Amino acid sequence: MKPVFVNSAVCISAQNTLAEDVFAELKLPERTNLLNAIEPSYKEFITPGLIRRMSKVVKMSSVAAQKSLQEAEVENPDAIIVGTGMGCSEDSEKFLKNLIENGEEFLTPTYFIQSTHNTVAGQIALSIPCHSYNFTYVNCGSSFEFSLLDAKLQLENGEAQNCLVGGTDVIADHTEELYELNKTIKAKNEIPENLLDSKTEGVVWGNGSAFFVLENEKSESSYSQLVDISIVNILEKSEIKNFINDFLTKNNLENSEIDAVIFGFSGDHDSDNFYREAQQLFENSPQLYFKHLCGEFNTAAAFAFFMANQILKKQEIPELIKINNFEKKEIRNILIYNNFFGKEHSLVLLKKP
Across residues 104-114, what is the average pLDDT? 76
Cross-strand partners of 343: 340
Across residues 48-75, what is the average pLDDT? 92
Peptide bond before 129: cis, by omega within 30 degrees of 0?
Answer: yes
Is the model's pLDDT at 112 over the cut of 80? no
Residues 178-228: tens digit of each pLDDT: 999 999 999 988 999 999 999 999 999 999 999 999 999 999 989 999 999
Nearest to residue 170, comparing CAs of 130, 104, 117? Answer: 117
What domains sit in the chain, N to C, each tagged with a CATH number?
5-215 (3.40.47.10), 224-351 (3.40.47.10)
- Give the pLDDT of residue 99: 81
Strand boundaries in 133-285, DSSP class E: 133-137, 162-169, 205-206, 208-215, 224-232, 260-263
In terms of pTM, does the model score above 0.85?
Answer: yes
- Give the pLDDT of residue 290: 98
Determine the Cα–Cα distance for residues 255 and 344; give it in Å rounded to an integer: 22
Q: What is the DSSP letter of 105?
A: -
Residues 246-272: tens digit of each pLDDT: 999 999 999 999 999 999 999 999 999
